[in-house]
Amino acid sequence: MSIDIQKIRKDFPILDQMVHGKPLAYFDNAATAHKPQQVIDAIDEVYTTYNSNIHRGVHHLSNVCTQAFEDARVKVQNFINAPHSHEVIFTRGTTEAINLIATSFGESFLKAGDEVIVSQLEHHSNIVPWQLLEKRKGIVLKVIPINDAGELVLDDLDDFLTERTKLVAVAHISNALGTINPIKTIIDRAHAKSIPVMIDGAQAVQHLKVDVQALDCDFYVFSGHKIYGPTGIGALYGKEEWLNKMEPYQGGGEMIQTVSFDGTTFNELPFKFEAGTPDYSGAVGMGAAIDYVNAIGLENIAAYEQELLEYGMEQLSQIPGIQFYGTAKEKASVISFIVGNIHPFDMGTMLDKLGLAVRTGHHCAQPLMQRYNIPGTVRASFAVYNTKEEIDRLVAGVKRVSLLFA
Ligand code: PMP
C-alpha cells in the first residue's frame, strides 16, 4: 500500500501556516512531532464530555474516564506487543521513565561498585539519571564507544559485560545521528550473562515496529509527543518479574493498598508506579496517536521515511563543504550536518527566515558532540507528513546560506 501524503498532511492543522512569510516546512520531528486532528479531537472529547478523576469513582463519568484510560493502556500494550497490560506504566515521558528505572531498579538492585552500561550516543536523559545514581550509590557507568559513522562498536561488548554489570541501558535509535542500534544483539549478549537490558525507544516507536517480546528486552520506554501524541505522557514497559520486585518510584494516592502510620502496603501493577492523578487525557491522546499510526501502518511510514532520508542525503551531499554526522548503514530519517565552518546556530536561524524549521545544537547529546569534537550540528528529522518538495526547499535554503557565508 502506498500512502497519500497530501491526505495525511490535511490531518495536521499546524502544518498549514506561513512562517516569516513562507510556508512552514517542519523538520524538527525528532524533538517533537505535530498532532493530527484525530488526537486533538480525542483530548477535546475527554474535557468536553467525560472528564472526571479516574479509578475509585462510583459515578458514570469517572467510570467512562477510567475505561478510556485503561483502554489507552491496552493500546500501548498491543502497540509494542507487551504480554500484559499491567506491564505498561504511564509516565510523563521517556525522561521520567528512565528516572523511574534508575531510581527504583537502582534502589532495589544496585550497590557501590555495580556497573551500568550506556553508549556514547545516548541522550542526556539516559546518562544523567545514572550519574545521579553514581553519586548516590557509588555505581560505575561504563560507555560503549561509537565509530566515525556513529555506529556502536560492539567488538569488546563481551568484555564490557562483567559479573558486576547489573544493567545495560541503550537507545534504540540515536536522536542526534539517526543510527539504528543493533539492540537485539546487545540484548542477547547481555542475557547470555543474565544481565537485564533497558531500551530507550524515544526515537524508535514512530519509525519502526517494536515487539518487546521478540526483542526480549527487560524495559522499553518512549514518549507520546514524538509519535504524534500529546506532551506530558509516555510509557514504560517492564517485565513483571522486575516491576514486582522494584521499589515504588513515588508515593501518593493510587499506588497504595493500605496506609496507616504503622506502615503502608503497595498496590499491584501497574498502579504501584502511578502515584497521584495520572495524565488521563494525555493517555487517551497517546492512544489516539497509536490508532492513527496503526491506520497508516508503521511499515508504510518506515518505507516512506526511508525514501525521504535517501533523497535528503543525496540532495544535501551535493552541497560543497557539507559534512554529515551519522552515516550508519542502519539509519532512521534524521540528517545531522555542518556546512564548512558555518555555525549550526547561524545556519538554523537563517533557515528559519525561509520558513524551514530545523534544530541546531548538541541535541541533548553533549558527550556525542565531544566524540566528534564539534559544538553541535544542524538536524533535519523527517516525519510521515514531510515531502520531497520540502526537502528541495531545505536544500535550496542550505545552499543559499552557504553562499552568503562563502
Ligand atoms: N531519549 C531520546 C533518544 C530522545 O530523543 C529524547 C527526546 N529528545 C529523550 C530520550 C527524552 O524524551 P522526553 O523529553 O520526551 O522525555
29, 175, 207: residue to mutate for ligand 1 pocket, most atoms within 8 A of CB: 175
**Residues designated as active site:** 364
Beta bridge partners of 165: 115
Residue 207's nearest CA partner among 333, 336, 363 is 333
Identify the pLDDT of residue 223.
Answer: 98
Cβ-based neighbour number of residue 99 at 10 Å: 19
Identify the pLDDT of residue 57.
Answer: 83
Coil, strand or helix: which one is 47? helix
Q: Is 178 in the pocket of ligand 1 (CB under 6 A)?
A: no
CA distances from 333 to 140, 247, 347, 357, 382 (A): 33, 38, 20, 15, 5
Cβ-based neighbour number of residue 135 at 10 Å: 8
- 211: pLDDT strictly greater than 70: yes
Q: Is 28 in the pocket of ligand 1 (CB under 6 A)?
A: no
- Residues 182-189, mean pLDDT to the nearest whole number: 98
pTM strictly above 0.85: yes
Which long-range contacts link 70-76 to residues 24+ away (Cβ below 8 Å)? 71/287, 72/283, 72/284, 72/286, 72/287, 73/270, 73/283, 75/286, 75/287, 75/290, 75/291, 76/235, 76/237, 76/286, 76/287, 76/290
Bond prior to 23 in cis (omega within 30° of 0): no
Q: Is 202 in the pocket of ligand 1 (CB under 6 A)?
A: yes
Identify the pLDDT of residue 2.
Answer: 79
- CA–centroid distance, 58 to ligand 1, in Å, is 37
Identify the pLDDT of residue 47.
Answer: 98
- What percent of the chain lies above the pLDDT cut of 90? 99
Cβ-based neighbour number of residue 158 at 10 Å: 12
Cβ-contact 335, 380 below 8 angstroms: yes
Cβ-contact 327, 150 below 8 angstroms: yes
Identify the pLDDT of residue 406.
Answer: 84
113: left (phi over 0), alpha (psi -120 to 50) or beta: left
- CA–centroid distance, 264 to ligand 1, in Å, is 34
pLDDT tens column, 383-401: 999 999 999 999 999 999 9
Q: What number does the ligand 1 atom closest to the CA of 175 have?
A: 5
78: part of which helix (H) or strand (E)? Answer: helix 60-80
Identify the pLDDT of residue 56.
Answer: 81
- CA–centroid distance, 226 to ligand 1, in Å, is 8
User: Where residue 116 falls among pLDDT bands split at 50, 70, 90?
Assistant: very high
- CA–centroid distance, 207 to ligand 1, in Å, is 14
- 256: pLDDT strictly greater than 70: yes
Q: Is 123 in the pocket of ligand 1 (CB under 6 A)?
A: yes
- Residues 41-58, mean pLDDT to the nearest whole number: 95
- 150: pLDDT strictly greater than 70: yes
Q: Is 200 in the pocket of ligand 1 (CB under 6 A)?
A: yes
- The protein residue whose alpha carbon is closest to atom 6 in ligand 1 is 202
Radius of gyration of the chain, Cα coordinates, nearest whole angstrom: 22
8-state DSSP, 248: P
Q: Is 176 in the pocket of ligand 1 (CB under 6 A)?
A: no
- The protein residue whose alpha carbon is closest to atom 8 in ligand 1 is 31
Q: Is 95 in the pocket of ligand 1 (CB under 6 A)?
A: yes
- 1: pLDDT strictly greater than 70: no
- CA–centroid distance, 401 to ligand 1, in Å, is 29
| Cα(276)–Cα(91) distance, integer angstroms | 11
Cβ-based neighbour number of residue 304 at 10 Å: 22
- Residues 48-54, mean pLDDT to the nearest whole number: 97
Q: Tell me the angle at which helices 388-405 and 344-353 cross, rounded to the nearest 10 degrees.
A: 120
